[in-house]
Structure formats: C-alpha cells, structure tokens
Structure 1
Amino acid sequence: MQKIRDYRIISLLGEGGMGKVYLAEDEMLERKVAIKMLNPELGSNQELLARFRQEAKVQANLHHPNIVTLFTYFVENNNHCIVMEYAPGKTLKQIIREKGKLSENETLSLLKGMLDGLGYAHQYGVVHRDIKPANIMVSEEGNVKIMDFGIAKVLGDRGLTRTGLKMGTVYYMSPEQVKADKDIDQRTDIYSLGITLYEMLSGTVPFTKNTDSDFIVMQDIVSGNIDYHLLANDGISNNLLTVLKSLTETDKNNRPPTCMQVEKLLDGKLIPVENKEPHKKPAPEIKIIHEPVQEQKRLEHIDKNVSLSHQHMVLVEGGSFIRKEKKLIGYREQSVKLDSFYISKYQVTQEEWEFVMGKNPSHFRGERNLPVEKVSWFDSVEFCNKLSEKEGLQKVYSGSWDNITMNMNADGYRLPTEAEWEYAARGGSLSKGYEYSGSNNSWEVAWYYVNSNNNTHPVGQKQPNELGIYDMSGNVWEWCWDWYGNYSSDSQNNPAGPVSGSDRVNRGGSWFNDAGNLRPADRYGSYPVSRHDNLGFRIARTK
C-alpha cells in the first residue's frame, strides 16, 4: 500500500491485535501523521465499530501537550482508519528495557507529564483503562505523550480479553478491572500509573513474572501482593515510596481520587514552586471581595496608566452574550452580562516579564516581543501584583497558595475572568460573530499547529479582532482567574467562576493546537502550578 486518501504511506511503525500502525505524510498539510488501520476481525463487528466511532469522537476532543491527538477517523475500501499525531521517540517500555530502572529525578520528570495528560482527560470523564509503559511515548527531549485513549474502554465494554485481543497487559490492570467491576472510574488509571511508577523505579513489575498464567498474576493484583522493600533498599525517598503505596492501594477508595491529589502528595517534588506550602487540606473557598475604593483615585489611575510601556490596554464596553460550554456530547448555554473593563491588546511579552519579574522563564527565546510562557497561574498573579506596585496602584490579589483572594474593585492589574476573556475575544459589542477571534479564517488571526513551525511568534503580527486585540486565537494559551468548572444554566452578571476547584481556566489555543482549539468558546483547565511552553497570559483592569 503506497497511499490512502491524501496520506502517503512511509513505513510500518508496528502491529498488534488492534491492527497495524503506519507512518504517513499528510500531503495536503505537509506533516507526518500516524495512521492506525484496524484489524479486519474488529472491522466486521458493526456494534463494536459504532461504539468505537463514538469513542473516537471523545478522543478527538482531547487536546493536550501530553496526549497524542486524534485528527480524524474514516473508512476507505472497508479499512477503518484513525489518523493521529505522529509522536517520534521511544515508548517508556523501550526505555526501561534499555536502561533498566530510572533515577528518581528521571522518573519524576516523566511522571509529571503523565499526570498532566491523565488529569486533563479525567476532567472530561475519559478514563484510559490501559495505562502502561508501552502506551507512553517519550521524545528525545523527555516530553511525554500518552497514546491510545479510548481504545481500551471500547474493548473492555465488549469483553474482548482473549489472547491477541486482550485489554492491555494484565500486570497493569487494577483490582477492580480484574474483578470486572462495572463502576470503573479514573482511579483505575491512577492504580495503573502506580504500577508503571514501580517499574520505572525498579526496572520490573511487582508481580509474579515466571508464569504464563494470567490467573496467578490476577491473584497477586487482587490480594495486593506488592513487595516495596526492593525500592526502599535502592534508596528511593520515603516520600516517593509513600506516594507509590497510595497509588497502588487495592481498595480504590484508599487511592488519591485525582491526578491533582497525586501532585499534592508529591509535596513539591514533582513541580517545584517557590515558597510552596504543603497541601494538607482541600483548597478553601475562593472569595470575591468587593471592598470600597475611592472612585476619584481609581479614575485618575485609569486615565493616566492604561498602558505598561508597550502593553496597551483596550477598553471593552460592557454588554451581554451567550456562552456555550462544550460537553462530550452537546453544549450547555449561559447568558452573561458584564460591566466595562480594560484588557491588554497583546499577550504579556518576555521583555515586559523581565521588566517586572527580573528573569525570563520562557522556552522560546530570541525576540523580546515573544509572549512569555512557562509561567504558572501563581506566577501570573504575582506579576499582576508587582506591576500594580510599580505603577502605584492598589494590588488586586492577597493571600497565598490555595487561599488567594481577588478584590474586583481594586484599580491594579489582574487576570481577566473567563467571561471577560471570552467576551473580548468575541469582539465585545462590536462582534461580527466570527468563528475565531477576528476572522472566519484561522490563518489570518492565529499562530497554530498548521503555520507556527512548532514555536511561538512575536505578538501583534496577525490580524486583530473587532476591538483591536491581537492573538486571542493561538500563539499561547492564556490563564484566566477562574477555577475550571461547569457553567450553570442561570443568567449571571460579572461571573468569576466556581469558588474552588483543582484547575484554573486556560483560553485561546496555542502554536501547538489545531484550529478546533482557537475558537473563543473553547476552554481548557490546567493545574495552577503548571508551566508549559504553550501557556502564557494577558492582563486586565477593572474600569
């Protein structure tokens, strides 16, 4: 086979019970992709195919740097094909075979990417069900990509666990999977991640290996027969050993319920944060403070300080709009009314970041007006407060870590709320209803997967939207104030999101993403400590 549709087949990457995977070139977009062609035995089962297509739709909505993206699904000459992002590198399984056990630092670095990717999928209700080293791709730079989301779920639902079509390797199955429990949730992935963690640290799985009997291995899993002494004798830190034991608890109710909780248990070893306080209790309620501020003083500051050197602020006149929350199937609508506010014309640049914070954390460098990236939500909040101090304005944020509060009446700089961001991206009261921020043509307004050359670009190079604001589609994702959560169906005035949560909202898409993430309504959540090379922010002020 030399070609299928617009894809030129380059080579066979691998094959297994599910089918064959080919490396191919998308001749229209001039990029390499991976094409998975399903086993004809699976293609003959119409019920399975219908469910598989539905699962493919779910996976196609998962857009995250640590997840292999599904581009499309089609049938050609009775061949059922999935076109995916091509992720070069080696599987974690290959790395373990070559190196044996990994160091604790290497392990934590890879674990961070796995937790980020899984946590993102779990918030959309997607459970992988087949986490194992063979499904983790690692690039030469050490970046993690999780593969085959959704496939294990479909196979498990059909009970296809015979030789050649087994739902994953038995060693990584959770006790509830072994017992065929019907109530499978994200904690099954957390258990499998724990077994993967054990193998990374020791070079081997913790269960009986000198047997061909799945039954014996399953007995070990259900009985919790895991020997941790091997790791303790190898000098693994007590903290990481404790985390490992919690991930591999036989009773799922005793495991951390979310990937965010796993990061909290690691207590700063996974993602270093300056002056980080230990997570000993759930995040307290986030309060929106409405303290009185002298009106004349605030107006004077706004009149005189609506710009930060090159960082111009745009007045967004108040108004109303309908925002839609994308669900796995369908949408939830909410009517929103906003007061007038200011928002920056450009994403915060590296030059501006250095002016305020002193050190540039960005991955992509070379031009001073590149957007700053690899900044966490906490970093962005700190920037806003320091900039306010430099300009003699009242700081918006107070508190620390999980108890940061926001004074919406303060005249200083802040992150936009999610509703403010979307309203500005749509063009505010001047909106023409474009699909992207400023155009129906993504090329005109955005740097993204197709045209970015896999890096950021100087701000303000693309066409602005109706309000004269640049890069609200693409270049880098942008932090918002809000915790990530479901919209209510009730109309709201000046909403500021849920009072608590695990993730903070990101908006706008990035150089890494496809056009589907560039729409003003598209949303995503990241742990507030996350730092990625496709994640930055812009600033706002209350009018």
Structure 2
Amino acid sequence: MKCDKCQFELTDTWTHCPSCGNAISENIKTNVAPVSQTTVVKQAMSTGTIALDPASLAKIRDYEIFSRIVENRYEITEQIGQGGFAVVLKAKDRKLGDRTVAIKRLLKQHMQNNSSARIVERFRRESAVIATLNHRNIVTIYDCNSDEDGDYIVMEYIEGGSLRQRIDSGRRIPLDEAVKIFHGICNGIAFAHRKNLIHRDLKPSNIMLFPDGSDLVPKIVDFGLARQGEASDVSITGMVMGTPYYMSPEQQRDVKNVNSSTDIYSLGKILYELLTGDFPDVVDPEKLSFCPGISDVIFKCLKLKSEERYSSADEIMKDIDKVLGTAASEQKTPSEKFERIEPKSESEEDPREEEWFFQEISKKANGLKSKNESTSAIVEEYRKYLERYPSGAHRNEVDHLITDLRKQNYKGPNHGKSWKIPDTELQFSSISPGDFHMGSNPGIMGIGGEKGRKGNEGPVHKIHLSYKFWMGRYPVTIADYLKFMRSDNRDPQIEWTSKNCPMEKAGKGSDIDGGFWQEPSQPVVEVSWPAVRAYTRWLTEIELNAGRIPSGGYVYRLPTEAEWEYSCRAGASTRFFFGDDERELQNFAWYDRNSNNRTHPVGTKSPNEWGLFDMLGNVWEWCNDHYEGYKSESCVNPCGPKTGTVFVRRGGSWVNDANHCRCAYRKYWEPASCFKYLGFRLVLAPEIGSMASAGRM
C-alpha cells in the first residue's frame, strides 16, 4: 500500500508515513499485499529517508544502546527525537556547569550497510556546514567527534518543540506571530545563502521554536542535505533527496543540479502552511483570502521555473512587509512596544557601528537596572541588538544576559509547590508527569462495565504526560474574570457583548438571572471559547512581564482533555475520583440533586486527592481540544485533532445528574456557546505544540 499524500510504499504496521509524516488512514490498510522490508528500504533510500520497521524503531528509542557518558564529558539523560538516520539525545555537559546540550548520533545500522560511507559523509558534512553559520536563527554547533558508538554532533539544546508540532497543535497561528516566525526563518536562510550554502530540506519539522519570553524564535536544524555552491561529491546525479511537497520540481528530478531557489520554493510551502494550518499538498488561494496579496507572494515562491521565483529570502520578506506591514503593525501584542529595527545584512555590517550600537544598548539596559525597572523592559533593550544584528559578535553574550536576567528575577511557581497569582484568587496545584488510562471500562459483552458508560468514552487507552504543569484548583471566578473585562487590553478581534461575558449582571443580586452573578466567588459562566482564549493570552502577558512564567514555553491556557482527566482522576480508575458509589457525590460536587438550580461559590465541596475542587459538577469546563472519537493506541502528550468545529467540555454541572459527572464523561459544544452551566478552569503548562507528542487519542 502507499501513503495517500506522497505515494510512499508503506507496511501495514505503520501508523504514520516515514517520508512525509502523514497519518495512515484505516481504509488504505485493507485488502493490500504486504510490502517487503527490502522494497521499503530501497524506496526510502531513493527519497533520502531510511524507513525502519517497528521492531527497529523500538530499539532506537532505547538510548541505552549508546554509552551513557560520551567523551567522559557529556552525560546522556534522555532521548528527545529520532529520524531515519539519527537519534537526538539530551545530555549534560559536565565541563561547563552541567549545561544542557543536544547530541545527534548516527544510528549504528547505517554504519554497517552498503551505503554507510555516503551516509556517514553526509552526517559529518552536516556538522561542518552548521559550524560555519553563526546566526540567531540557525542551531549552534558546539562539537563533533566519533567514538566506539560512531559519529555524533554536540549542539545547542532548544527547549521548545518544532514548527511541525506548533502547526499540528490544531490552533491557528496568529498573523503577527506567523510573520515573526517566518521572518526568522528567512533571516537564517538568507544568511546561509550568503555563505553559499543551500539547505535542500526545509520543512516545519526542521525548524525548532526556541521560547524567548512571549516570542518563539525559529532555529533551522538538520543541514544533512545541505551543499556548498555547485560542489557535491556526496549527492548522486539523478537521485531524489528531501521531503515530498516541500521539494521544488527541479529537486524532485535531480537533487544535485539545484541552486538556492530550491529553498525559496520550500519557503513558499512553509509560509502557506504557517498561515492556513493546511498541509501544502495543494496551495489554495481561497484559504488566504483573509489577507489579500499574500497569495501572490506564495505563488511567486512556487513558480515552476526557478528563475521566475524570488532571487533571495530577503526579497520575500520585503514583499511580505509591503502586503502585511500595516496589518502586522496593527496587531502587535503589548510586549512589542519597542520600535521595529531592520536586521542588517552581512554586506551592510560595520563592526564599528555594531560595537557602538551594542554599547548604547548596554548603557540603556544598565540605566534601567539602576532604576530597578522591570526585567521585561531591560530584556527588550537587549533584544533590539538581536533584532538588528542576528549574527552579531555579541549575539551569544546578549542571549546569556537575557537568560540570566529572567532566571535572577523569576518570581513564579516552583514544581512540587502550589501557586497563587498575586492580587488574584487564582490558585494552582502542582501536577507531576505520569501515566493513566483514559476512558471508561466497557466490560465484557456489556457486563461488568462502568455504570452509565457512553460509547465515545472508549476504547480505553494509555496516556503519558511527560511534563510538569499546574492545574487551577478552582474554576475561574466572576471576580477574577471581571478584572480582565475591565482592562484596556481585551482582544480587539472579539466582539465583546453580553453574550460572551454579561458583566453588567455581576453583583446585582439573586433577582438577576437567577443568582448566577450574585457572588464574586461563583464560577464565571456564559463565556465563549474564543473569549476564554483571549483571557488566557491577557493573563499570560501580564504574568510574563511580571517574571512569573516558568521557562520552557509555559503559558496560561485551557487544559487539554488528557490533562483534565489525568488531574480529575488524581490516580483513581473508578467511576468518580472518590470511588464508584454515586451516593457520595453530594460531598464532592454540586449537581441536580443538591444545586437548587444554580451555581455555588467555588471550593465549597471536598477536593480530590490532588487538592482540586469542583472538577465534577457546578459548571461544565471548556477544554483546549477539538472533539473527536478516541483511537486505540497509546499516546504521549496528546492535544486533540488539528481541526474541527466543536470543542470538548468536561465535568458536568449543577443541572446534570450523577452520570454526567463521571471522570470519563465527555461532550462538546460549538465555540460560540454561552450557557449558565458552562465555565472554565486554567492550567499553567507548555504551550500547545511545544511539547513532543506521539499518537492520537
């Protein structure tokens, strides 16, 4: 059978295509003849991807096959990624204060086959190529060597996930954020091209996103297919290497005889996917109608004749600025209060001017420090230098200054301890990483299953959450939500009406709307999903500027459905988190038997084992995920489907019976829904798309 996206030969045991990453649908798995491993490997080699059977992949995932200590210096702590040729390991550099680094290791099986010389040469060339590129938007190489386990590269460790993960999170990337990310990608590629280097495998999975405050700084990785100028003694004339749908037509014909315009083609595909969230197999101009003119830029990148495309990545950005300049500037977030500074190209750089600029920025930053100004204000001064000189002589120094400033002035939560945001009633419990089984027990032939079980609660599947986070102890209250509604920084793109937050009802007594807005400690209700998202962005911005957001891409947001059920169960596998007897529910939840047809102040019933109140009953709670049916396979850090029209709600409410208040019960509503039994709870966790994930729920 073949992938329905790129026509790559597949085996029936795979869930994703190893060439393009496309999920394999069940309908193409039926009535197909098995494909031999030899056939698959031959085709994989022809596309520059080594496909491995599941047994081999299982061995690769076990990083114990490599020495735990490399060069008596690097201590491997965990595996963080893998591809067809190499595995990426996280490690501590013992000689430099346990600095975290990433080690890319060539897989052993590629040193023991007929193509080993070519593969090893490509791997070694990657380190040599990146070592010549000192740029903010290109991953930094620290070291390269070989030992008894083979060749390896030591490089910068990037905390965030890849652009692929960010796009696949299912949340549209805001226009201004997408333009910023694409600016960085273009800056890095333009720099590489000025060094006479062509990447030849640009795609979202080869772009990592480094969390820098509220921004995500793109860093280009995987230069394994890069070549310098016209010289290449590793690529073979007529061979196809790269990734389908991101490769230019001329690269699909012959990887050796291409120039920098092949990267321009890939940039066009990446820009389309960034702006629409759609896989770029077909570029549909109708999906770009929200921003007239941008389709012209993309289609110029995608011209069939390479000479008709843009001649450089800098030219792409100039045209994008013409089209989006006004729109992008109007959509700046509150953190973007410094003037735009155009980055200097290498030909324009004057070392004396750069040094003067750095000294001026340093003086301003030191002045702000002496006045005890906020960390965010000082950081913004230093970032002016990085904006102007992304590959400047003081780049690493400034990066370290910014990192140290944020660490020194961190005032936020610490893992293992509860957290309360100052001047609010927003409290959070620390949740550790772990495993649980999601869904409800169906029993055997309908016998012995969970009472009240619904079909969409299965199949039961194992979930692993690999990151720490903080779950709100209560649903958000009227008091805390009204601070947002009365602020000047509400999202201008949302039409704020009484339909998505009837703030005029607050505090008016029980005769207004049945008392749902009577007390500040009641859970806020009648808030749409987009309005909740606007609230979480507002809160994240405030807390980031106050130095109270943990590093690693953490934000305030709605919980994923997996985070919600994991936290609700608190280690339990029963119908409710306290057991199976619904007669005890009255001690833990407000529901139809005891609510008197209204909401009640949060925290007035008993919590679960992890100190979380009102997880069941009182109000339904929005989740971050689009709704879909469960899959049977185990999942790591799932975050729901990429697209959809409805969002998950969990927990039951004051109007529902006990069956609706079970841990596994799940339902959905359209995002504009606003009901008196619908509220929400916050989580402080990595931004969707920044944590590594595998599988679908």
TM-score by length of 2: 0.38
Q: Which structure has the greater CA radius of gyration?
A: 2
- Greater fraction of residues in strand: 1
